[in-house]
Amino acid sequence: MIQQINSRIRQIPNWALYLLGAVPVVWLYVQGFQNALGPDPVDVIEHRLGLWALWLLIAGLCISPIQRNTPLRLLKLRRPIGVMAFMYVLVHFLTWLVLDVQIPSQIWADIVKRPYVTVGMVAMLLLLPLALTSNDWSIRKLGSKWRQLHWLVYPAVILAAVHMILQAKGFQLEPMIYLTVVLVLVGVRRTPLYRRR
């Protein structure tokens, strides 16, 4: 059973995963163009893309604990998930830039002055080199440095969750849950449970 799942996963071509990953963002914009996202489509697109990015980042963090503690072999999915997470961050950022803030002078002011924007920007910039080096050539070229570089995903995901908390008004439950999940997934990597095997 498990072996069947593992071999099925191995058979999925990467292009199919990327295509699948592009569906929500394309669908979101199609709905936006058709005026089907309610009174404030920009806000809806911005927030859903941010949420998708966070979901994908969290999914990426789950891969290695699953690999170590279960017979499931999901490692193959980690690169597509990571690259897609970055694509969502990028479209989220561009939507904010082009459709929301719009005014160039205000964009820079927001990045420097507003902590939640600054934190989000830093998270995106931390993810950029990771996305750029998510290919076999970079792994060969960078050798052991590749692992060190990709350690940056931990601060990036924590900052992404903090970014979500900082933009919420009032004391809200949902962003707290996301930060907790992220901290547990990062924290588990320092426990003996994780080092075993």
Partner 1 sequence: AMGLGLTAAPLRAATGLEPNSYEDITSYNNYYEFGTGKEDPARNAGQLTTDPWTIKIDGLVEKPGDYALSDLIPQMTTEERIYRFRCVEAWSMVVPWNGFELADLLDLVGVKSEAQYVAFETLYRPEEMPGTRFPVLDWPYREGLRLDEARHPLTLLATGIYGKPMPNQNGAPIRLVVPWKYGFKYIKSITRITLTDKQPKTSWNMANAREYGFYSNVNPQVDHPRWSQATERRIGGGLFARREPTLMFNGYDEVASLYEAMDLRKNF
Binding positions for partner 1, rule: CB under 8 A: 32-33, 35, 38-43, 45, 99-103, 106, 109-110, 114-116, 166-174
Angle at the Cα of 24 (from 79 to 127), degrees rounded to 5?
35
Q: CB-based burial of residue 178 (10 Å sphere; 0-12 exposed, 13-18 middle, 19+ buried)?
A: buried
Q: How far is the CB of 35 from partner 1 (least distance, A)?
A: 6
Nearest partner of 152 among 74, 57, 67, judged by Cα: 57
The structure tokens listed for 196 are 């075993």
Contact (CB, 8 A) for 44 and 38: yes
| Nearest approach, Cβ of residue 20 and partner 1 (Å) | 25
Q: Least separation, in Å, of the C-beta of 61 and partner 1? A: 26
Query: Which two three-digit tokens encode residue 191?
Result: 């426990």
Q: Which of 126, 127, 129 is nearest to 88 (CA)?
A: 127
Nearer CB in complex with partner 1: 138/167: 167
- Within 10 angstroms of residue 120's Cβ, the number of other Cβ atoms is 25
Cβ proximity to partner 1: between 70 and 172 the closer is 172
**Closer CB to partner 1, 72 or 168, in the complex:** 168
Q: Least distance from C-beta 160 to partner 1, angstroms?
A: 17
Joined together, the tokens standing for residue 182 give: 């992220």
Tell me the closest approach of the beta carbon of residue 103 to partner 1, in angstroms: 6
Q: How many residues does the chain have?
A: 197
